Chains A and B, each alone.
Chain A
Amino acid sequence: MKKALAGTLESSDCCVTLTEKNLGSGLSLTVSGTERFMSAITETVGDVAGSFGISDVDIFVQDRGALDVVLRSRLEAAILRYETDEA
């Protein structure tokens, strides 16, 4: 099963883990860490996943107070690694 992660659990960072799901099952998102940014995080994940055309993955975001630019970067890095992973 394909899996990739990017980022760290250091303060102001986040760790993004992508795990393969069954074909056609769509995108699922779990967030741990901050309560007040659920909407913003959900929107950013949808935005970045959409622009990379990625689907049928579970995205797990462990947030340590990452700003949007950091979340976007970690998402992109995780997606990049996911797509080059031969598992």
Chain B
Amino acid sequence: MSKNILGREIPNYIEGYGAAVPYAGLNTRRPNGSGKIKLRPNQRGKNKVLKSIEDAITASGLKSGMTISFHHHLRNGDRVVNLVLDACFRMGVRDLTLFPTALFEVHEPIIEHIKNGVVRRIMGSVNGPVGRMVSSGVLPEPVVLRSHGGRPRAIMSGEAPIDVAFIAAPCADRWGNLSGLSGSSRCGSLGYAHTDALYADMVVALTDNLCSCLIAPVSIPQTHIDFLVEIPSIGDPKGIVSGSTAVTRDPLRLLIARYASRVIEASPYFKEGISFQTGAGGIPLAVTAFMKEAMIRSSVRGNIGLGGITGYFVELLKEGFLKRLLDVQSFDATAIQSLCEDPSHIEISADWYANPWNAGAAVDMLDATVLGATEIDRDFNVNVNTESDGALLHGIGGHQDTAAGASVTIIAQPLMRGRIPCATPRVHCVTTPGETIDALVTEYGVTVNPNNADLLERVRGKSDLPLVSMDELIDKASALSGRMDEIEQGDKIVAVIEWRDGSVIDIVRSRG
């Protein structure tokens, strides 16, 4: 057991995970190892299209104990994960490692497959009922959480090899070219699937829209696809379009968004050519709207909009406030349409988006980013993974990556959610280290990280931005909430939280 530099205890060896390198700074580990892109014997004359998922499982050579991967571009409308696991169950394939880029409520049936032994281990986010189940310690091996950038890094370095990648494709042709741009299940960018397609030993695409002609444009080319299955439906369009793409109308959240936008304006980066990312979610989207107002007022035009792309960013592109959009995930119909039509709206892979070990990732181009948090502590360490009751809640998403890449990282969050404070002396677990966080913005005002003296000075002069120190904020929050009961924790490690470079930034133990 040793402590990493954030004071979190990390065992040297974690059962079901392996040797743990404790986090020791933003670049703890150096690039190491390399995964292989598998070469295939000549495929001429082969018909890739199979009749059923079962046939694909057989053809791919999927056996018990292997690792299978999925992307989450179909979000809460996805049908593919459940269908594949059901087929594995029927065929007696078990003890699989599930390696999705994220999971949603629609994936609750995984609970059954954990109980019946199809799924033994999960590398990816777990939330809702699956999260609570995992938090109680039911899986033999801990969940491994990686960021959007850390995941492709782990695949490309060979640390997280994939036996079979299952890629849901809204649009495909019989040679195996894939895209997300058309079809009833269209989802826009397929950015999270690219690395899996390149590095998995076997790649199976599933589509409900098999085109007779070669599709155009192509997102993932035929050179990576081994088999294709046509099924009636890969996803429910109502669940594919994200539920979180409306600007908040709550006055308190608007107040916070206004403060956050003003902080960006006060920073040295609010000038011609600014590049930024705001998450999807009520507050960040409102920040986008306020930033547009600020850009109009100051005659500033931006450069790149990054991330999960919503209609609000498309509007900024169309109206000339941004020059390009880099899209790793398209959140709504407007974004999908824009990706189809506008050459300045570019689909990027998760590797391009956020991999810390390539020749240059998009997150490093960011001047500013606005993120959320469940908890934040005196050292500005942020927790997005567990709820206040210690149950696993969210995946990391791009949090670590954008925080590390952006010049100004702002956490915009209400201080109190009901009676529960988000500012606390010590977070339950660390997702993103304090040194990457420049400011916290709450309804009480702006709390600047003392390690950014320049930003502190710039914000100090502004009469409409109340400044409050982190200590004051934590004291205030604690006075408001009163005494909180301790979370009962077991000994078993249920999750390992990796930093984007594969070092271990924290672990989560079982609840109760």
List the interface of chain A (C-beta within 8 A of B). 11-12, 34-40, 63-68
Query: Which residues of chain B are within 8 angstroms of A65 by Cβ–Cβ distance?
Result: 417-420
B389 touches A37 (CB 8 A): no
Query: Which residues of chain B are within 8 angstroms of A40 by Cβ–Cβ distance?
Result: 482-485
Distance in angstroms between the alpha carbons of A67 and B484 in the assembled complex: 12
Query: Given A12-B418, A34-B419: A68 and B482 within 8 A (CB)?
Result: yes
B216 at the interface (CB under 8 A from A): no
Which of A35, A36, A39, A67 meets B480, CB within 8 Å?
Answer: A67
Query: Which residues of chain B are within 8 angstroms of A66 by Cβ–Cβ distance?
Result: 418-419
Query: Which residues of chain B are within 8 angstroms of A67 by Cβ–Cβ distance?
Result: 419, 480-482
B418 touches A35 (CB 8 A): no
A–B complex contacts, Cβ < 8 Å, 19 sampled: A11-B418, A34-B418, A34-B419, A34-B420, A35-B389, A36-B389, A36-B420, A36-B484, A37-B484, A38-B485, A39-B483, A39-B485, A40-B483, A40-B484, A65-B420, A66-B418, A67-B481, A67-B482, A68-B482
Distance in angstroms between the alpha carbons of A21 and B329 in the assembled complex: 58
Distance in angstroms between the alpha carbons of A64 and B418 in the assembled complex: 7
A35 touches B417 (CB 8 A): no
Chain B stretch 457-484: residues in CB contact (< 8 A) with chain A? 480-484
- In the assembled complex, the CB of B334 is this many whole angstroms from the nearest CB of chain A, namely 30
Distance in angstroms between the alpha carbons of A38 and B389 in the assembled complex: 12
**Residue ID in chain B nearest A12 by CB atoms:** B418
For this complex, into which size category does the number of interface residues on chain B fall? 10 to 19
Query: Which residues of chain B are within 8 angstroms of A12 by Cβ–Cβ distance?
Result: 418-419
Contact indicator per residue, chain B 155-188, by CB within 8 Å of chain A (1) or not (0): 0000000000000000000000000000000000
Query: Which residues of chain B are within 8 angstroms of A68 by Cβ–Cβ distance?
Result: 482
Additional A-B contacts beyond A40-B484, A63-B419 (19; CB < 8 A)? A11-B418, A34-B419, A34-B420, A36-B388, A36-B420, A36-B484, A36-B487, A37-B419, A37-B482, A37-B484, A37-B485, A38-B485, A39-B485, A40-B485, A65-B419, A66-B418, A66-B419, A67-B481, A68-B482
- In the assembled complex, the CB of A12 is this many whole angstroms from the nearest CB of chain B, namely 6
- In the assembled complex, the CB of B512 is this many whole angstroms from the nearest CB of chain A, namely 10
- In the assembled complex, the CB of B43 is this many whole angstroms from the nearest CB of chain A, namely 56
Query: Which residues of chain B are within 8 angstroms of A64 by Cβ–Cβ distance?
Result: 418
- In the assembled complex, the CB of A80 is this many whole angstroms from the nearest CB of chain B, namely 23
**Residue ID in chain B nearest A64 by CB atoms:** B418
**Residue ID in chain A nearest B388 by CB atoms:** A36
Query: Which residues of chain A are within 8 angstroms of B419 by Cβ–Cβ distance?
Result: 12, 34, 37, 63, 65-67
- In the assembled complex, the CB of B487 is this many whole angstroms from the nearest CB of chain A, namely 8
**Residue ID in chain A nearest B486 by CB atoms:** A36
Query: Which residues of chain B are within 8 angstroms of A63 by Cβ–Cβ distance?
Result: 419
Contact indicator per residue, chain B 406-447, by CB within 8 Å of chain A (1) or not (0): 000000000001111000000000000000000000000000
Distance in angstroms between the alpha carbons of A64 and B388 in the assembled complex: 15
Can you list the 8 inter-chain pairs with the closest CB atoms, starting with the nearest?
A: A65-B418, A65-B419, A36-B484, A40-B483, A40-B482, A68-B482, A39-B485, A36-B485
Distance in angstroms between the alpha carbons of A63 and B481 in the assembled complex: 13
- In the assembled complex, the CB of A37 is this many whole angstroms from the nearest CB of chain B, namely 6
- In the assembled complex, the CB of B413 is this many whole angstroms from the nearest CB of chain A, namely 15
Distance in angstroms between the alpha carbons of A36 and B483 in the assembled complex: 9
Query: Given A65-B419, A65-B420: A35 and B485 within 8 A (CB)?
Result: yes
- In the assembled complex, the CB of B145 is this many whole angstroms from the nearest CB of chain A, namely 23
Query: Which residues of chain B are within 8 angstroms of A11 by Cβ–Cβ distance?
Result: 418
Query: Which residues of chain B are within 8 angstroms of A39 by Cβ–Cβ distance?
Result: 483, 485
Distance in angstroms between the alpha carbons of A66 and B417 in the assembled complex: 10
Query: Which residues of chain A are within 8 angstroms of B418 by Cβ–Cβ distance?
Result: 11-12, 34, 64-66
- In the assembled complex, the CB of A43 is this many whole angstroms from the nearest CB of chain B, namely 8
- In the assembled complex, the CB of B253 is this many whole angstroms from the nearest CB of chain A, namely 13
